[in-house]
């Protein structure tokens, strides 16, 4: 029988192979349709690190049962439309023992580690045959990629109160869009292709973003009112989209990665901590019940220190004192002349920080500065965690950070970073006129709204005080 075989990167040919011979417990299916998956394309291009060449590609199958072997259930009969489960499971690894056979350590996927379905016939164990009554074989070929998208939605525990961003509107992404919409979620589809985005809208997406022509972050800020999506499903498999998923998901949100990147991915690991904010009260209780040698571990000491610092900078507490040099070498404190009797927005930043986050933060801060630079009730201060003076100065000039800037060049190990429990940049803290912490790490519309509330309250208080004097 004929088969399509990838022999080497960018080399593919039609070959003659033997028709499978049925073994007991197997089903022989005649292939009618096979989807050409992104993984097949990457195999052909030499970008699939998991493939074993030469290989017959194809795992998205629409087929008809040709024959059944011994010990096959009577429910599987010749002539039935079917699709197949293209994955194996060993039954022995940790994943299999935990009931997660889809994550089998020793899985061999059709078209990747073993020959796939771009041929005339394949024989598989009956347990890997999925009957599809009244579904034509052409449509059966869509079941596997659609089910991957459905599974991603299930893993993300999507509900009707969630905002879900799906990156990539291929067949798998479309599956995620359909399933999210069916669960009542608000769906945002992201892709480079307007035609795919239009189709995504037709099948359930409420918003679309063309990442080629639109600023994804700005669009998400508008759609989610600055909160970010509750769930991000990455269905592309590129370093850029992996980073986008982690950067854009809301705090305490969920990210599901379906595609695999073809090269290494560098993350801002701060988000793995920041967006899953630790519950220090629970941690304290756990530490308190620990006994013996556990209490003496270095990491417990470090945890206790982190908890102590965090508690000192909780909302409502007085902000720690600092004295830091500005660009002229002058010492700046909370009680410096420019900050007296003013609410103070402190921005912790660094030129070495994530460029996307820095750009976003700087854009917001510059808007706030322009609006309030002459206001007597609010001031701004930038505290840099840079370690190189020239890089710090260059960043101030390049990014036009015209409000007061200070730095002691100690990085994240500087005393002020420890005092304010700063673990990532950019971060911000809003202080009241009397030095109490009013808010922490607000962004977008939340930050602007909070500042407006604080300024309005200060102006109203001033009016009342003036009335009393009269």
* pLDDT recorded at residue 296: 55
Helix axes 355-372, 444-469, angle to 10 degrees: 20
Q: What are phi and psi of 402, to 5 degrees?
A: -85, -5
Query: Cα(363)–Cα(378) distance, rounded to whole angstroms?
Result: 18
What confidence tens digit (pLDDT) does each residue in 61-117 have?
999 999 999 999 999 999 999 999 999 998 888 888 877 788 889 999 999 999 999
Q: What is the mean pLDDT of the chain?
A: 88
* pLDDT recorded at residue 98: 77
Residue position matching structure tokens 């596997």: 144
Query: Cα(337)–Cα(452) distance, rounded to whole angstroms?
Result: 23
| Percent of the chain residues topping a pLDDT of 70 | 88
Of 451, 423, 434, 421, residue with least CA distance to 314: 421
Helix axes 143-155, 171-182, angle to 10 degrees: 50
Query: Cα(157)–Cα(160) distance, rounded to whole angstroms?
Result: 10
Angstrom distances, CA of residue 385 to CA of 14, 53, 415, 429: 60, 50, 10, 15
Sequence-distant contacts of 42-45: CB under 8 A, at least 24 apart:
42/262, 43/6, 43/111, 43/112, 44/6, 44/9, 44/10, 44/12, 45/9, 45/10
* pLDDT recorded at residue 207: 98
Rg of the chain, C-alpha, whole Å: 29
* pLDDT recorded at residue 357: 67
pLDDT tier at 287 (50, 70, 90 boundaries)? Answer: low
* pLDDT recorded at residue 467: 80
**Domains, the chain, ordered by start:** 2-141 (3.90.180.10), 146-274 (3.40.50.720), 287-312 (no CATH), 313-462 (3.40.30.10)
* pLDDT recorded at residue 421: 84
Query: Cα(230)–Cα(165) distance, rounded to whole angstroms?
Result: 8
What confidence tens digit (pLDDT) does each residue in 133-157 have?
889 999 999 999 999 999 999 989 8
* pLDDT recorded at residue 300: 58
Query: Cα(139)–Cα(133) distance, rounded to whole angstroms?
Result: 11
The mean pLDDT value for 177-184 works out to 96
* pLDDT recorded at residue 167: 97
* pLDDT recorded at residue 168: 95
* pLDDT recorded at residue 325: 95
* pLDDT recorded at residue 96: 84
pLDDT tier at 309 (50, 70, 90 boundaries)? Answer: low
The mean pLDDT value for 405-434 works out to 89
Of 262, 267, 305, residue with least CA distance to 287: 305
The residue ranking higher by pLDDT, 470 or 405, is 405
338 alpha-carbon distance from chain centroid: 40
Assess whether pLDDT exceeds 60 at residue 273: no
Assess whether pLDDT exceeds 80 at residue 4: yes
Decide: helix, strand or coil at residue 143: helix
DSSP assignments along 310-329, one per residue? HHHTSTTSBPPP-EEEBTTS
Percent helix / strand / coil, the chain, rounded to 5? 35, 25, 40
**DSSP secondary structure letter of residue 119:** B
Terminal-residue alpha carbon distance, the chain: 101
């Amino acid at each position: 029988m004929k088969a399509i075989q990838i022999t080497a990167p960018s080399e593919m040919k039609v070959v003659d192979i033997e028709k499978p011979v049925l073994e007991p417990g197997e089903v022989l299916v005649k292939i009618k349709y096979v989807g050409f998956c992104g993984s097949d394309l990457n195999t052909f291009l030499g970008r699939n690190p998991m493939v074993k060449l030469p290989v017959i590609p194809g795992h998205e199958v629409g087929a008809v049962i040709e024959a059944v072997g011994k010990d096959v259930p009577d429910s599987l009969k010749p002539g039935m439309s079917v699709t197949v489960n293209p994955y194996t499971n060993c039954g022995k690894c940790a994943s299999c023992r935990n009931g997660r056979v889809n994550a089998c350590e020793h899985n061999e996927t059709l078209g990747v580690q073993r020959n796939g379905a771009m041929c005339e016939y394949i024989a598989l164990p009956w347990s890997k045959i999925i009957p599809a009554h009244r579904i034509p074989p052409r449509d059966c070929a869509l079941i596997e990629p659609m089910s991957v998208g459905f599974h991603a939605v299930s893993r993300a525990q999507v509900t009707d109160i969630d905002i879900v961003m799906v990156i990539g509107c291929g067949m798998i992404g479309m599956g995620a869009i359909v399933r999210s919409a069916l669960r009542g979620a608000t769906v945002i589809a992201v892709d480079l292709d307007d035609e795919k985005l239009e189709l995504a809208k037709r099948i359930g997406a409420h918003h679309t973003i063309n990442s080629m022509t639109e600023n994804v972050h700005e669009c998400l800020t508008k759609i989610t009112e600055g909160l970010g999506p509750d769930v991000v499903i990455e269905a592309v498999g590129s370093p850029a989209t992996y980073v986008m998923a982690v950067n854009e998901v809301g705090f305490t949100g969920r990210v599901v990665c379906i595609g695999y990147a073809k090269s290494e991915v560098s993350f801002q690991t701060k988000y793995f901590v920041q967006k899953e904010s630790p519950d220090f009260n629970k941690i304290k209780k756990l530490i308190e019940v620990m006994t013996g040698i556990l209490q003496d571990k270095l990491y417990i000491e470090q945890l206790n220190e982190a908890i102590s610092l965090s508690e000192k900078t909780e909302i409502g507490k007085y902000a720690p004192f600092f004295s830091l040099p500005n660009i002229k070498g002058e010492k700046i404190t909370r009680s410096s002349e420019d900050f007296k009797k003013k609410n103070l927005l402190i921005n912790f930043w660094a030129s070495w920080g994530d460029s996307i986050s820095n750009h976003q933060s700087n854009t917001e801060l510059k808007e706030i500065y322009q609006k309030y630079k002459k206001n007597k009730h609010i001031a701004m201060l930038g505290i840099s965690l840079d370690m190189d003076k020239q890089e710090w100065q260059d960043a101030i000039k390049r990014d036009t950070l015209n409000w007061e800037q200070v730095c002691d060049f100690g990085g994240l190990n500087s005393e002020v970073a420890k005092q304010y429990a700063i673990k990532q940049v950019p971060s911000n803290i809003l202080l009241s006129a009397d030095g109490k912490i009013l808010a922490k790490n607000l962004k977008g519309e939340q930050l602007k709204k909070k500042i407006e509330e604080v300024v309005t309250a200060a102006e109203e208080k001033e009016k009342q005080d003036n009335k009393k004097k009269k």
